[in-house]
Amino acid sequence: MNAIRRRAPGAAIALVIALASAVPAAAAEPTRSVIVAGPSTQYPAGTGCDFDVTVYRPKGGWTAITDFSDGREAIVNHVVERTITNDATGATFVEVTSSHEVDVIIDGDYHGTITGAFIWQFYPGDVGPDGSVLDHLLALYIRGSATYVVSGEGVTEQITINGTMTDICAAIS
């Protein structure tokens, strides 16, 4: 009986330590959101290109966003195939995107990397791939990788792109 009593306080202490360490682990669980885009979305002039465009998507595309307690955010994007159409001319650009992105917020700015095939939308005031401040819209389809800093207000402050780039608006204008 003495052996059981001697182990009981040790077991109780071990249980308290295990529960105390489990609480922070449970609090650190990431949260995930999955977004499934509709079959089409229209972008008025000035939001994607200087002219109206419509994006057509087949079923099966999705984006998963996972937020971690340490401030990282991971984004996985998978679109089977997407057709971007100039509404005025009917010209199209067909692309497939599949990418993985990780952001860390530092002093309110998003510092990140993205790899795969993806679209990066630039607006007037953003720093473009050549380091100059843009005075126009630019939608690039990129196959490769990018590292970037985007302000909390959504302004691209710095970007380095490795891979191929296609100017979508120029391709369908």
* pLDDT single digits (tens) 79-134: 878 999 999 999 999 999 999 999 999 999 999 999 999 999 999 999 999 999 99
* pLDDT single digits (tens) 9-42: 343 333 333 444 444 545 579 999 999 988 999 9
This prediction's pTM:
0.80
- Per-position DSSP letters for the chain, written without gaps between them: -HHHHHHHHHHHHHHHHHHHHHHHHHHT--EEEEE---SEEEE-TTTSSSS-EEEE--TT-EEEEEE-TTSEEEEEEEEEEEEEEETTT--EEEEEEEEEEEEEEETTEEEEEEEEEEEEEE-TTSB-TTSPBPSS-EEEEEEEEEEEEE-TTS-EEEEEEEEEEEEHHHHH-
* pLDDT single digits (tens) 122-150: 999 999 999 999 999 999 999 999 999 99
